[in-house]
Structure 1
Amino acid sequence: MLVEIWSDLVCPWCYIGKRRFEKALAGFDHRDRVEVVHRSFQLDPSAPHGEVRDQAEMLSAKLGMPPERVRALNTEMEHRAAEDGLEYNLSGGTVGNTADAHRLIHLARDAGLQGPVIEAFYRAHFTDRRSLFDPDSLVELAAEAGLDPGAARAVLDSDRYAADVQTDQVEAQQLGATGVPFFVVDGRYGVSGAQPTETFTQVLARAWAESRPPVTIAAGDGDACDGDACAVPTEPRG
């Protein structure tokens, strides 16, 4: 069963949603039959490459809030993250264009390392305040997660996977996703937002049950209908 997760690496709810889904998956009896694929979504694809902005200043301007209100919201988000076992250090954080980081996530998928790399990127941004917007930092982080640094550098020095990032973005919009995280389970169930772990547990169970054919527990010469013909006993059963 396939689970696709659209997210942006600077979205605080995306990291929380990822952790809640992982908790649900860990308790799912058929977890070894579930493939998880992370898909790209940029909250601000127009952000200039190579430039960073103070996260609090950006939110203050975007939301029309005074800086002290944004700082209070960041503190609240840090507490929410802690409830899910995550450490957020949002004070002094920066934001920028995430396209290059997303391209490395696609490289990691091809290398079978998508899970470790995306986890490393989230932890770097939200916990350690390491840059996801500088090529040298991205290569270092990817290497720490097991990705070949030469391969990562080659991707960043080219436009490789740029089309894949854009395709993911378009597909999310076609599916009706206006924000992230956005989960699609078995190609049929969409889950929007960082829902409680219990919600993910229910969706996994339902999708699995509905995707499995019924199991025949008895077979043989029992009475049955075949097409428009039904077998009728010629003698009463004793």
Structure 2
Amino acid sequence: MKVEIWSDVVCPWCHIGKRRFEAALAQFPHREHVEVEWKSFELDPGARSAPAGQPAGATEYAERLAAKYGTSLLGAQQMTDTMTVQAAAEGLDFRFDKAVRANTFDAHQVIHLAGLRGVQDAVKERLLRAYFTEGEAVGDRETLVRLAAEAGLDRDEVRAALDDQRYAGAVRADEAEAGKLGISGVPFFVVDRKYGVSGAQPAEALLQVLERAWAERSPLVMADGGAGACGPEGCAV
């Protein structure tokens, strides 16, 4: 069974949603048969990356949030406070005061490369933690190279892939596919191309979707013998 997850590495609910999905998967009896693929989605394609070592600070982050959602600075601060509490409940330490403004297009290219090398989840996790907890500049190429190497990728391959924008087309294809599927917000989970789940739903809700999708794809259980049936060797009489 395949689960595709559209998300961004600067999306707080995506990090929380990842933890909740992992909790659901841990309870799923058939988890060893689940393939997870991370798909690209840019919350702000026009964002300009700040230089490494220049954190936004809590006030600047709230100001950008307020401008984006048309709310007051106090309202934006309440949003970040709520997300911080929600994250803590999932064992995550959100430090918005350390967050460095980033364009995530290159980060998504690295995640595509990681998928080909079998370390996609590790790279995705590393970039999320780097942005939300450590104040790393995930829009800076050399920072991306270092973080990707820490998660199992080859430094030279990552640098070369970013230099020639090798996976730019794959990122754009993910984003175009999101549009066709009607995905306008993330995280968004697509289970076996049959069920779509929007948002960082509780683990229990995600588990229910996994169980339903699995039940619908499982082989039929035979209730009786094959009397009165025909097959390649002829018909039973």
TM-score by length of 2: 0.89
Instruction: Give 5+ residue unaligned stretches, structure 1.
Output: 233-238
Task: Answer yes or no: is 1:41 the counterpart of 2:41.
Answer: yes
Task: Give secondary structure in 1 for the equivalent of 2:101.
Answer: strand
Larger radius of gyration: 1
Q: Which amino acid aligns with 2:27?
A: G
- Quote the residue 1:213 is aligned against: 219
Aligned-pair CA distance for 1:49: 5.6
Distance 2:76 2:47 in 1: 20
Is 2:105 the partner of 1:99? yes
The answer to whether the 8 Å contact 1:40/1:102 transfers is yes
- Give the structure-1-normalised TM-score: 0.89
1:71 corresponds to 2:80: no
Shift of 1:217: 5.2
1:130 aligns with 2:101: no
CA drift of 1:149 comes to 0.7
Name the % identity. 51
2:29 equivalent to 1:29: yes
Shift of 1:67: 2.7
- Listed as ranges, the gaps of 5+ residues in structure 2 are 231-235
Residue in 1 aligned with 2:10? 10
Contact conserved, 1:74 with 1:91, CA < 8 A, in 2?
Answer: no
Which whole-Å CA distance do the structure 2 matches of 1:210 and 1:94 have between them? Answer: 44
Amino acid at match of 1:99: F
Paired with 2:107 and 2:66, the residues of 1 have a C-alpha distance of 25
Native 8 Å contact 1:55 1:92 kept in 2: no
Deviation at 1:96, TM superposition (A): 2.3
CA contact (8 A) 2:3 2:36 kept: yes
CA distance in 2, matches of 1:36, 1:69: 35
Aligned residue in 2 for 1:115: 121
| Conserved 8 A contact 2:98-2:133 | no
Distance 2:48 2:132 in 1: 21
Three-state SS of the structure 2 residue aligned to 1:164 is helix
Q: What count of residue pairs does the alignment treat as equivalent?
A: 228
Deviation, structure 1 residue 131: 1.1
Check conservation: 2:7, 2:41, Cα contact below 8 A.
yes
Alignment partner of 1:186 is 2:210:
no
Residue 92 of structure 1: how far off its partner (Å):
4.1
Distance 1:62 1:176 in 2: 21
Structure 1 position 139 matched with structure 2 position 130: no
Superposed CA offset, 1:129-149 (max 9, x none):
111011111111111111111
The Cα offsets for residues 3-30 of structure 1, whole Å up to 9 and x where unpaired, read as 0000011110011111101111111111
Deviations 1:200-221 (A, max 9, x none): 111101101101120225435x
3-state secondary structure, aligned to 1:128: coil
Give distance in 2, aligned partners of 1:187 and 1:77.
Answer: 29
CA contact (8 A) 1:56 1:93 kept: no
CA RMSD of aligned residues (A): 2.2
In the other structure, the counterpart of 2:233 is none
Residue 156 (structure 1) aligned to one of 152, 155, 162: 162
CA apart distance, 1:225: 6.3
